[in-house]
């Protein structure tokens, strides 16, 4: 393992992320809230980076979210 990432904090039920979290077809929390940084991975095309940090202030996450099977909010 080169790196480990904590998927974030969870709501009181211990199951639902406090911010956006998606893995393939499962969406744990669809709400983006004030998260400006999204970690995206599992790309749908081989030409895309395997992992990408998306800055919602500089990049169009609505376009990029369809290109990755997994993503979650990093900060916000």
Q: What is the pLDDT of residues 21-68, one digit of tens each?
A: 999 999 999 998 887 999 999 999 999 999 999 999 999 999 999 999
Stated pTM of the model? 0.80
Sign of the CA dihedral running 44, 47, 51, 55: negative
Taking the C-alpha atoms of residue 47 and residue 33, their distance in angstroms, rounded to an integer, is: 30
Instruction: Provide the pLDDT for residue 55.
Output: 95
What pLDDT score does 6 carry?
66
Annotated domain spans of the chain = 21-75
In the numeric block, the tokens 């974030």 are attached to 8
Distance CA 51, CA 71 (A): 9
C-alpha Rg value of the chain to the nearest Å: 12
Burial class of 10 by CB neighbour count within 10 A (0 to 12, 13 to 18, 19+): middle
């Amino acid at each position: 393992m080169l790196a480990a990432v904590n998927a974030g904090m969870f709501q009181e039920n211990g199951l639902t992320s406090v911010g956006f979290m998606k893995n393939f077809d499962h969406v744990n929390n669809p709400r983006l809230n004030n998260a400006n940084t999204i970690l995206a991975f599992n790309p749908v095309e081989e030409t895309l980076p395997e992992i990408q940090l998306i800055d919602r202030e500089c990049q169009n996450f609505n376009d990029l979210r369809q290109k990755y099977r997994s993503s979650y909010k990093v900060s916000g």
